[in-house]
Structure 1
Amino acid sequence: MTDTGPAEDETPDGLLSWCLVANVARETSRGEGGLEIQHGTKHFRAGTLLWLAPARWDAGSCRRHAVGRHRGNSRRYVNMVVCVGDLENFRVKGVYSEALVRSLNGYDHDPAAPRTLQDPWTRERAQSLADSWNRHREPLFIEGRPYAHPRISVPNPPPAEIQLDGETFHLSRYGTRGAHYSRTPPPVEWIPEP
Structure 2
Amino acid sequence: MNGEEAPEPRWLIAANVVRWRRYGEGGQELRPGTKSCRGGSKVYVIGHRPGGADVLTAIGRGRRTGTYITLDLATRHLHTFRAELVRSPAILRRDAENDAGRGWDGREHTAERAARFERQAAGERLARWEGLPHPTPCRCHECLTLSPG
TM-score, length-scaled by structure 1: 0.55
Query: Could you tell me which amino acid in structure 1 is paired with residue 10 of structure 2?
Result: S
In the alignment, the residues of structure 2 paired with residue 30 and residue 172 of structure 1 have an alpha-carbon distance, to the nearest angstrom, of 12
Cα contact 2:56–2:74 (8 A) shared by 1: yes
Higher strand share: 1
Per mean C-alpha deviation after superposition, the further-off stretch among 84-93 and 34-43 is 34-43
Query: Could you tell me which amino acid in structure 1 is paired with residue 17 of structure 2?
Result: V
In the alignment, the residues of structure 2 paired with residue 80 and residue 42 of structure 1 have an alpha-carbon distance, to the nearest angstrom, of 11
Partner residue of 2:113 out of 117, 129, 134: 129
Higher Rg: 1
Higher relative contact order (CA 8 A, sep 6+): 2
Q: Which residue of 2 aligns with 1:173?
A: 133
Give ranges in structure 2 of 5+ residues lacking alignment.
1-6, 143-149
In the alignment, the residues of structure 2 paired with residue 27 and residue 140 of structure 1 have an alpha-carbon distance, to the nearest angstrom, of 17
- Structure 1 79/26 Cα, relative in aligned 2: closer, same or farther at 3 Å? same
In the alignment, the residues of structure 2 paired with residue 87 and residue 51 of structure 1 have an alpha-carbon distance, to the nearest angstrom, of 11
Cα contact 1:52–1:66 (8 A) shared by 2: yes
- Structure 1 121/22 Cα, relative in aligned 2: closer, same or farther at 3 Å? same
CA shift at 1:42, angstroms? 0.9
Q: CA RMSD for the aligned pairs?
A: 3.0
In the alignment, the residues of structure 1 paired with residue 51 and residue 17 of structure 2 have an alpha-carbon distance, to the nearest angstrom, of 18
Q: Which residue of 1 aligns with 2:61?
A: 69
Identity %: 27
In the alignment, the residues of structure 1 paired with residue 39 and residue 89 of structure 2 have an alpha-carbon distance, to the nearest angstrom, of 25
Does the alignment pair 1:33 with 2:31?
no
- Number of residue-to-residue matches in the alignment: 127
Higher helix share: 2
Give ranges in structure 1 of 5+ residues lacking alignment.
1-13, 109-117, 142-146, 149-170, 179-194
What is the correspondence of 1:16-31 to structure 2 with a 5 Å cutoff?
Answer: 16-31=9-24
